[in-house]
Structures are given as C-alpha cells and as structure tokens.
C-alpha cells in the first residue's frame, strides 16, 4: 500500500472516530481493519494507527490550532470530512516529524478534492498554509 493510500485509510478511521465515543476506539479499529477487502500489511497498519492515535492524542491542541487559523469558523461549524482531513494534516505538520510540510498539505488537499465539496480544497489549503507559517 502506498503512503497516500495508507494516509487515506488513516483519514477514514479518524473520520469514523468522530461518530463514536472515545472508549469505543478499540472496537471501531478492529472492525475497520476486519472489513478491508485485502489484508493490510503490518507496516501500513502501524502507519495508519500512528497517524490516527497521534491526532487523537493531540486533538484538543489540534482543534485549537485549526480554530485560530480558520478566521470566522470554529470546528463545530466545519463538515466532519473537512475536520478529519484538517486534524490529520495538522497532526502531521505540528506533531509528526515524518511528513514534509508540502506533502502534508498536498495530501490533505487531494483528500478534500476526492471526498469533500468543491470549496473544501481551497479552504483546507488556506488553513494549512497558515498552520505551516506559524
């Protein structure tokens, strides 16, 4: 599985977590991987889980950063798809040393193009540009 595909899966799992209680994480995670048509290699699974768990572990900080950079918006008003994309990308920009800034932003914009509204790529790019500049 490519890094892009693994990141897409991390986005899917992070998105699903927004609809479940924190204490249901283990169950959601098991179901997520069990429902995959093809088995996920251990290395890819480790990457996906490190991204999701990293973002979840810094959720309060990440949401604060998003709120600061999204003038006139708060995370409660954002679509759950956009919010999951932003959370993953902000985690990569601020807390993960493995992903270059340009890659994190580009991957987030590509996810927005594929899974969100027509306005989302520009919205997400603008917020992440501000995050990266801080």
**Of 97, 76, 90, which Cα lies nearest the Cα of 124?**
90
Q: What local confidence, expressed as pLDDT, does residue 76 receive?
A: 86
pLDDT digits (tens, 9 = 90+) for 63-121: 999 999 998 888 888 999 999 999 999 999 999 988 999 999 999 999 999 999 999 99
Number of H helices, E strands in the chain: 7, 0
pLDDT above 80: residue 21: no
**Of 19, 52, 13, 20, which Cα lies nearest the Cα of 36?**
13
Maximum mean pLDDT: which of 2-6, 12-16, 83-87? 83-87
CB neighbours of 17 closer than 8 A, spacing ≥ 6?
A: 25, 28, 52, 56
Q: What local confidence, expressed as pLDDT, does residue 92 receive?
A: 97
The owner of tokens 């493995």 is: 98
Q: How many CB atoms neighbour CB 130 within 10 A?
A: 15
Rounded percentage of the chain residues whose pLDDT exceeds 70: 100
Q: What local confidence, expressed as pLDDT, does residue 63 receive?
A: 95
């Amino acid at each position: 599985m490519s890094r892009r595909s693994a990141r897409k899966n991390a986005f899917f799992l992070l998105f699903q977590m927004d609809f479940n209680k924190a204490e249901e994480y283990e169950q959601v995670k098991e179901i997520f991987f069990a429902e995959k048509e093809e088995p996920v290699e251990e290395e890819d699974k480790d990457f996906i889980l490190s991204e999701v768990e990293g973002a979840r572990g810094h959720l309060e900080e990440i949401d604060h950063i998003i709120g600061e950079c999204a003038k006139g918006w708060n995370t409660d008003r954002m679509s759950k798809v956009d919010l999951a994309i932003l959370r993953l990308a902000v985690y990569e920009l601020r807390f993960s040393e493995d992903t270059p800034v340009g890659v994190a932003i580009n991957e987030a914009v590509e996810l927005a193009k594929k899974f969100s509204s027509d306005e989302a790529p520009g919205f997400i790019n603008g917020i992440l540009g501000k995050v990266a500049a801080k």
